[in-house]
Amino acid sequence: MATRRRTIVGSPLTPTLLKELGVFDELPAAQRDFAPDGTWSHTYRVWACHGYRETGNRDVGFLRIERAPDRAGKTFTLKVDQQIVHAEGAANSIHADIECLNDRLGSPVRWHLSSRFVGTEGEPRPVLRVEERARIEGDTIEVTTNGRTFKRQGSSRLTADWCLFEALQRLPFEKESHPVFDLLEGLSVLRTGHRLSYRGTVKLPPEGDIMLHGFHRLGHGALPYEYWLDERHRLVMVVSLSRAYVLDKEAEQATALELKRERGNFQRQKRGRERGGSQ
Amino acid sequence: MSEKHSTQSVSRGMDRRAFLKTSGAMVLAGGGLVNSQLVSAQSSGSNILLVITDQQHIDTIAAGGCPHLETPAMDKLKNRGVSFSMSYTANPLCSPARSAIFTGRTPSETGVYVNGLPIRADIPNLGQWFSQYTDYETVYAGKWHVPKSFTSSIAGFDVVQTGIGGQGNVCDTETSRACEGFLRNRSSDRPFLMVASFLQPHDICEWLRLNTRKPDRLRYQELAGELPPLPENFGFDVREPAVLKSMRQRNEPALGKWDEQQWRYYLWSYYRHIEMVDGEVGRILQTLDETGHEENTLIVFTSDHGEGLGRHQMVRKSSPYDEASRVPLIVSLPSRIPANLTDNDHLVTGMDIVPTLCDYAGIDPPDNMRGMSLKPLFEEESVAWRRYVVTEIPGNVGRVLRTQRYKYTTCVNDPVEQLFDMLDDPGETTNLAPSSQYASILGEHRQLVREWESRLDVAPNVPNPNAWRKG
């Protein structure tokens, strides 16, 4: 029997390596009037790597972030939509509306978050649904969920992982010291002691003419995150170990296809088992 | 030689006698194990939450003394209950270990001697047993792996979330969010048995494949002063079974010819993986608290197997050394189980989980348990306990027998045995087996392995079924 050849990737994922692995071909063109502090919408394909070049790598979902500034310019709103595809075609969808301060790290002020699951045939699982409204009060977070209100530990230097997708675009491309901050991952899990650093530029491809600027983030509760932006300060790629967010206008459709593929495979296996069982 | 002996537990933190005095009445009122027949649990039974991580070594909890990470959720669990320091997996590989956790039987009995095999059909899993003999709601979220890693169909359980192979960094969040949703929305007055089975820190396997090549310089220069030191037992005794040598040679550090800095960066990265899953465990603990379930939920926290951590220059799992074989096991239930105690005396195994949960649910466990209920250790002053635990080596190619003082390893078709004095040499750096001075101790441990093996009902698909029964 022929064995499937598998080659270890061997090195950390970079924009160049992601292109080499076929994760993307071209980056989508920026909208003509794109401004980091304006109104925009970015959709990222969430791609996961198993560590081999040939097998086990796939799209697992999409993340869309939309920014809308308020009239006074003191705050802005981020609308977040994320869908992650699970084995056998189950899925989780997150929707969040976040009001953020127009400060250096886009600190969240208040938000509404909804988490919903569907089963392997796309059926809603209402028993798993979570709806949260929250607001920051000093270093605590007041959260109302399922009609009850709780106070949770926050931080006086807080931002959120999704907020950084916005804030990074407003940072200058220069080596400067950034203050340490804490991070509310998924607007719910507190990760402490994070810091950002500018790490310089790479060309894509190495001899090409697209220049990307990188930042990295280090801190507790996360592997290093690398953020890659084009020269218009548009965040085009985010990588943390085996997971990459790559700007892709077709990401939502790709996720729908992945979901269909998972469900199709699962139904085929199920029918196969049933046929086997009835013989 | 008897398997059990009587031992007086010595524990830190709250004095066990004082705890037993204050909690005794409550324990009796709660009802003990009914030995003679199976009974249905009452609706007033404690809820049960079984939290399993994947590939977590025991020395990776801040409250347990690890200075290289922050683990507020695991610290809370540790402070809430009893942690066992001599806690061994039944097999340092995912599927075999999980088959033992969910059945109370050895992997050679369940038939799951390597990854990706199903549990033998005539051995019930925990969910099936609870579904049949209790009124518990049995709920499962996350990794299963006997045989499929992630599946919506696990006998005896309502699966609320599956997961994504090889991507704990993505799917663990969904596992904890699903558990949160279940806890917030449930209206049943039946108790629940919920399994939250996380994939992290298993993503260290992806890390190894994405960091095999030694870089010219550290990718994040500011980490240079923060990397953990090499472990004290980085050096090792080369007198080891061939299977270990070959395991080491196949792994990434050997392939990439790692230097000290790369080893230390690997350690730093592994600790971040632990912190990642800690946050997800924290979400569930917070939800238990916010939904009023914290006081009446028995929580068992464990991992399927450990991680090399650079000790003996090993990464990953499968080896008989303590880094791969020793796992966290923390059990807590406010007012019923002492808080903030470390049990350094009792040898325990993942196979103890099924009989323990059955005991707390008020039912007998399935027949032929190889594990023992831990409940008497929390509630009685003197308990007859086992003298040794046995860990099987993946592929059913070896046995590791741990007694209070020694650890003995033997592999099939390999003349090299290992014997370590775990009191004088807890890092397992000097193999005493070749020394004539230890011949009688070696002989005694060989005999204990034979004694253990003679009781097992090894599954027909398992190789080397009689390898350790012979004299």
Q: CA A138 to CA A154: how far, in whole Å?
A: 8
DSSP string, B233-296: TSS--S---HHHHHHHHHSHHHHTT--HHHHHHHHHHHHHHHHHHHHHHHHHHHHHHHTT-GGG
Tell whether A1 is covered by a domain.
Answer: no
DSSP string, B1-55: --SEEEEE--BSSS-HHHHHHHHHHHHHHT-----SS--PPPTTSPEEEEEEESS
Per the structure, the complete domain to which residue B152 belongs is given by 11-205+263-387
Task: Kindly state whether B281 is in contact with chain A, defined as any CB-CB distance less than 8 angstroms.
Answer: no
Query: Percent of chain B having pLDDT more than 90?
Result: 88
The residues near A210 (Cβ < 8 Å, ≥ 6 apart) are: A27, A203, A204, A230
| Interchain CB distance below 8 Å, A119 and B215 | no
Tell whether A262 is covered by a domain.
Answer: yes
Q: Which of B116, B117, B140 is nearest to B128 (CA)?
A: B140
Q: Find chain A residues with C-beta within 8 A of B180's C-beta.
A: 115, 130
**Which residue among A87, A115, A218 places its CB closest to the CB of B223?**
A218
Q: Report the domain count for chain A.
A: 1
Tell whether B431 is covered by a domain.
Answer: no
Tell whether B396 is covered by a domain.
Answer: no
Task: Kindly state whether B207 is in contact with chain A, defined as any CB-CB distance less than 8 angstroms.
Answer: yes
Task: Kindly state whether B222 is in contact with chain A, defined as any CB-CB distance less than 8 angstroms.
Answer: yes
Collect the ranges in chain B with pLDDT lower than 70: 1-44, 471
**Which residue among A8, A92, A191 places its CB closest to the CB of B177?**
A92
Tell me which residues of chain B, numbers 287 to 306, contact chain A at a CB-CB cutoff of 8 Å. 290
Which residue is closest to A17 within chain B, CA to CA? B210
pTM of the model: 0.94
Q: Find chain B residues with C-beta within 8 A of A128's C-beta.
A: 160-161, 177-178, 181-182, 185
Q: CA B150 to CA A266: how far, in whole Å?
A: 12
Q: Which of B152, B195, B161 is nearest to B50 (CA)?
A: B195
Angle made by CA atoms B110, B114, B117, in degrees to the nearest 5: 60
Residue B12, pLDDT score: 43
Q: CA B269 to CA B308: how far, in whole Å?
A: 13
Residue A2, pLDDT score: 55
Q: Report the domain count for chain B.
A: 1
Contact B133, A101 (CB under 8 A): no
For strands B82-84 and A75-85, give the pairing: unpaired
Which residue is closest to A149 within chain B, CA to CA? B290
**Which residue among B212, B272, B278 places its CB closest to the CB of A10?**
B212
3-class DSSP state of B208: helix
CATH number reported for the structural domain that contains residue B152 in this entry:
3.40.720.10
Tell whether A78 is covered by a domain.
Answer: yes
Band the pLDDT of A216: cuts 50, 70, 90: very high
Q: CA A224 to CA B374: how far, in whole Å?
A: 40
Tell whether B466 is covered by a domain.
Answer: no
Residue B28, pLDDT score: 31
Mind listing the pLDDT tens digit for each residue in A44-75? Answer: 999 999 999 999 999 999 999 999 999 888 99
| Interchain CB distance below 8 Å, B166 and A242 | yes
**Which residue among B163, B173, B185 places its CB closest to the CB of A186?**
B173
Tell me which residues of chain B, numbers 316 to 345, contact chain A at a CB-CB cutoff of 8 Å. none
Give the DSSP letter of residue B169: H
B426: tokens are 């807890």
Residue A86 corresponds to which amino acid?
H
Residue with tokens 């500018």: A198
Question: What is the enclosing helix (H) or strand (E) of B448?
Answer: helix B439-455
| Interchain CB distance below 8 Å, B182 and A128 | yes
Query: A110: which strand partners?
Result: A99, A135
Q: CA B108 to CA B116: how far, in whole Å?
A: 14
Mind listing the pLDDT tens digit for each residue in B190-238? Answer: 999 999 999 999 999 999 999 999 999 999 999 999 999 999 999 999 9
| Interchain CB distance below 8 Å, A128 and B215 | no
What are the two backbone dihedrals, phi and then psi, of residue B237, each rounded to the nearest 5 degrees? -85, 120
Residue B166, pLDDT score: 84
Looking at every residue in chain A, the average pLDDT score rounds to 94
| Interchain CB distance below 8 Å, B166 and A88 | no
| Interchain CB distance below 8 Å, B256 and A10 | yes
| Interchain CB distance below 8 Å, A222 and B276 | yes
Neighbour count for residue A232 (Cβ, 10 Å) = 12
Neighbour count for residue B284 (Cβ, 10 Å) = 25
| Interchain CB distance below 8 Å, B256 and A46 | no
Task: Kindly state whether B11 is in contact with chain A, defined as any CB-CB distance less than 8 angstroms.
Answer: no
Residue B11, pLDDT score: 45
Contact B156, B125 (CB under 8 A): yes
| Interchain CB distance below 8 Å, A223 and B252 | no
Give A39 to chain B, closest Cα distance, Å.
28
| Interchain CB distance below 8 Å, A128 and B185 | yes
Torsion of CA B185, B189, B190, B195, to 10 degrees: 30
**Which residue among A117, A191, A216 places its CB closest to the CB of B161?**
A117
What letters, b where the CB count within 10 A reaches 16 and e where it falls short, cover B447-458? ebbeebbeebeb
Tell whether A101 is covered by a domain.
Answer: yes
Q: Find chain B residues with C-beta within 8 A of A96's C-beta.
A: none
Tell whether A207 is covered by a domain.
Answer: yes
Q: CA A159 to CA A70: how far, in whole Å?
A: 19
| Interchain CB distance below 8 Å, B272 and A220 | yes
| Interchain CB distance below 8 Å, A11 and B212 | yes
Tell whether B429 is covered by a domain.
Answer: no
Torsion of CA A183, A202, A209, A21, to 10 degrees: -80
Give A57 to chain B, closest Cα distance, Å.
10
Per the structure, the complete domain to which residue A146 belongs is given by 15-267
Q: How far is CA B53 from CA B60, B206, B306, B393, in A?
A: 12, 16, 10, 20
Tell whether B225 is covered by a domain.
Answer: no
Contact B268, B201 (CB under 8 A): no
Task: Kindly state whether B137 is in contact with chain A, defined as any CB-CB distance less than 8 angstroms.
Answer: no
Task: Kindly state whether B172 is in contact with chain A, defined as any CB-CB distance less than 8 angstroms.
Answer: no
A-B contacts (CB, under 8 Å):
175
Tell whether B369 is covered by a domain.
Answer: yes
Query: Percent of chain A having pLDDT more than 70?
Result: 97
**Which residue among A11, A148, A242 places its CB closest to the CB of B169?**
A242
Q: Find chain B residues with C-beta within 8 A of A188's C-beta.
A: 283
Lowest mean pLDDT among A135-144, A173-182, B366-375: A173-182
Q: CA B317 to CA B249: how far, in whole Å?
A: 14
Task: Kindly state whether B155 is in contact with chain A, defined as any CB-CB distance less than 8 angstroms.
Answer: no
Tell whether A273 is covered by a domain.
Answer: no
Query: A59: which strand partners?
Result: A47
Tell whether B394 is covered by a domain.
Answer: no
Q: CA B347 to CA B325: how far, in whole Å?
A: 13
Residue B81, pLDDT score: 98
Task: Kindly state whether B151 is in contact with chain A, defined as any CB-CB distance less than 8 angstroms.
Answer: yes
Contact B164, A84 (CB under 8 A): yes
Tell me which residues of chain B, numbers 62 to 81, contact chain A at a CB-CB cutoff of 8 Å. 69-70
